[in-house]
């Protein structure tokens, strides 16, 4: 007879998991880029060549360093107010990653807790939570985020709150489905047979086995949060217009595309690369951590 005192969940070897992750190109490349982006955000004051808020109308709309008419010290040129585009893009990284990490983390915390409860306990808990998810997901997310920020008021906290209020449903629905799937596996049956409580099975056995799905979801959610913050900044519902955000820079650059295309292109490239990296990291994590997809 098998020894039921052995660990019941699927073995989780950290060293093996790390090796698997390092063999997935998307995880390595996207993760490396995002790690570099994080360093840029942390050390933006040291990396930025200029004060991102400093204005000099005499230096307005200077082109990047490789174009004719450039001035020394302005690698990516200036906007119409003479503010350094590179410095503003670097500081915009801080806003984008702050929103991404905070909003995705809070959304994951709320959505995972409710998804585990709905999928494991079922009954009235599942019915109430599922109806809440259905109601929330009936509204277009971008329009709802604009409405929420308009009600809550502009500011970084309002942007994060709006994203969390909307996007917890994504985590809840996926984690609920995964919990129901895990609850029917043999290791859960064995855990019940040796007397584990429902709470112990949920947190010690099921939760670790839904963690790979959760990790991929968090990465994808970070990319979504970056886009939502940029949209809200673009329409003037995020931070003040002086604060360097990618969405705000895109809105400004759109108005002066013929005089200074670089003001638009630089934040657009930064936004595109960041969202692409988050998406590729999420897809890479899903493939690397799912033994079925690795076959």
Give φ, ψ of 91 to 5 degrees. -70, -30
Domain holding 213, by residue range, is 33-45+76-289
**Residue 26: inside a domain:** no
Q: Under the phi-then-psi rule, with left for phi > 0, alpha for psi from -120 to 50, and beta for the rest, what region is 278?
A: alpha
CB 111 within 8 A of CB 175: yes
Buried b (16+ CB within 10 A) or exposed e, 255-266: ebeeebebbbbb
Output the domain CATH number for residue 160.
1.10.3720.10
Q: Under the phi-then-psi rule, with left for phi > 0, alpha for psi from -120 to 50, and beta for the rest, what region is 279?
A: alpha
Position 5 confidence tier, pLDDT thresholds 50, 70, 90: very low
Q: What is the pTM of this model?
A: 0.86
**Residue 93: inside a domain:** yes
Average pLDDT over residues 208-220: 89
Q: What's the length of the chain?
A: 295
Helices (H), the chain: 14-22, 25-42, 44-47, 85-121, 123-137, 141-152, 156-183, 186-193, 198-200, 207-234, 246-255, 261-289
**Residue 63: inside a domain:** no
**Residue 69: inside a domain:** no
Average pLDDT over residues 174-188: 89
**Residue 194: inside a domain:** yes
d(CA 26, CA 57): 44
CB 43 within 8 A of CB 93: no
Residues 6+ apart with CB under 8 A from 89: 76, 244, 246, 249, 266, 267, 270
Counting the structural domains of the chain, the total is 1
**Residue 64: inside a domain:** no
Q: Is the pLDDT of residue 208 over 80?
A: yes
Average pLDDT over residues 77-87: 91
Beta-bridge partners for 84: 78
**Residue 6: inside a domain:** no
Position 4 confidence tier, pLDDT thresholds 50, 70, 90: very low
**Residue 277: inside a domain:** yes
Per-residue pLDDT of 11-70, as tens digits, reads 445 556 677 777 788 889 999 999 999 999 999 999 999 999 999 888 888 899 888 888
Share of the chain above pLDDT 70, in %: 92
Average pLDDT over residues 79-88: 92
Share of the chain above pLDDT 90, in %: 43
Average pLDDT over residues 230-249: 84
Q: What is the mean pLDDT of the chain?
A: 86
């Amino acid at each position: 007879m098998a020894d039921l005192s052995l660990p019941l969940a699927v073995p989780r070897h950290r060293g093996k998991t790390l090796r698997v992750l390092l063999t997935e190109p998307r995880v390595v490349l996207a993760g490396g880029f995002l790690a570099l982006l994080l360093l840029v955000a942390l050390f933006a004051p040291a990396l930025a060549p200029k004060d991102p808020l400093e204005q000099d109308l005499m230096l307005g709309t200077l082109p990047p360093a490789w174009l004719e008419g450039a001035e020394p010290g302005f690698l990516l040129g200036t906007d119409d107010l003479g503010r350094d585009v590179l410095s503003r893009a670097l500081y915009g990284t801080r806003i984008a990653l702050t929103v991404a990490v905070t909003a995705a983390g809070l959304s994951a915390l709320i959505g995972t807790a409710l998804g585990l409860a709905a999928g494991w306990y079922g009954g009235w808990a599942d019915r109430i939570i599922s109806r809440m998810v259905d109601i929330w997901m009936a509204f277009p997310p971008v329009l709802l985020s604009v409405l929420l920020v308009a009600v809550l008021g502009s500011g970084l906290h309002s942007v994060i709150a709006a994203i969390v209020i909307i996007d917890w449903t994504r985590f809840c629905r996926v984690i609920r489905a995964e919990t129901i799937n895990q609850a029917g596996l043999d290791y859960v049956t064995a855990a019940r047979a040796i007397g584990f409580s429902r709470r112990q099975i949920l947190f010690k056995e099921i939760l670790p086995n839904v963690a790979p799905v959760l990790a991929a979801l968090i990465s994808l959610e970070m990319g979504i949060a970056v886009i939502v913050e940029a949209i809200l900044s673009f329409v003037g519902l995020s931070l003040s217009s002086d604060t360097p955000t990618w969405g705000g820079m895109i809105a400004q650059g759109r108005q002066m595309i013929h005089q200074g295309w670089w003001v638009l292109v630089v934040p657009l490239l930064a936004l595109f690369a960041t969202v692409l990296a988050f998406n590729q990291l999420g897809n890479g994590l899903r493939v690397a951590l799912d033994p079925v997809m690795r076959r």
